[in-house]
Amino acid sequence: MVLATNVAAFLLLLAAAGAVVRVVRGPSVADRMVALDTLLFIGVAGIGTFIVRTGDTTYVAVLVVAVLTAFVSTVVVARYIEAEMDRR
């Protein structure tokens, strides 16, 4: 299991680097929001990898909070873009 979790952690590291590149570069607010959402999902997958590695379920509640935060932040940014357009 050590090998599997190491491989998974490496792949998640690559994915996080890609998402950060899109957050920094991505031209519009929507691009950045999609990338930040992916970054939060990568964090959820990282905590899942930690649970597989150790069998410790202490951080399971963090997963629920992170998923709900991703949803709420996506909705809020969508509303923000819409309101920004109505204002102009």
Partner 1 sequence: MSVPDLIAAPLLIGGSALIALGSLGLIRFPDVLTRMHAATKAATLGVVATTVAAAVEAGALGGILILVLVVALLFLSGPLGMSLLARVALTTPRRCCHPTPGRCLLPRLLRSRLSHCLAGAPAGSWASCSVRSGSPSSGRWNLT
Question: According to the binding rule CB under 8 A, does residue 55 interact with partner 1?
Answer: yes
Site string for partner 1, 21-40 (x = CB under 8 A): xx-xxxxxxxxxxxx-xx--
Q: How far is the CB of 2 from partner 1 (least distance, A)?
A: 10
Give residues with Cβ within 8 angstroms of 51, minimum separation 6.
57, 59, 60
What whole-number distance in Å separates Cα of residue 44 and Cα of residue 67? Answer: 8
Radius of gyration over alpha carbons of the chain, in Å?
A: 16
Round to the nearest angstrom and report the end-to-end CA distance of the chain.
55
Q: Which residues of the shown chain bind partner 1 in the complex (CB under 8 A)?
A: 1, 4-5, 7-9, 11-12, 14-19, 21-22, 24-35, 37-38, 41-42, 44-45, 47-49, 51-52, 55, 57, 60-61, 63-64, 67-68, 70-71, 74-75, 77-78, 81-82, 84-85, 88
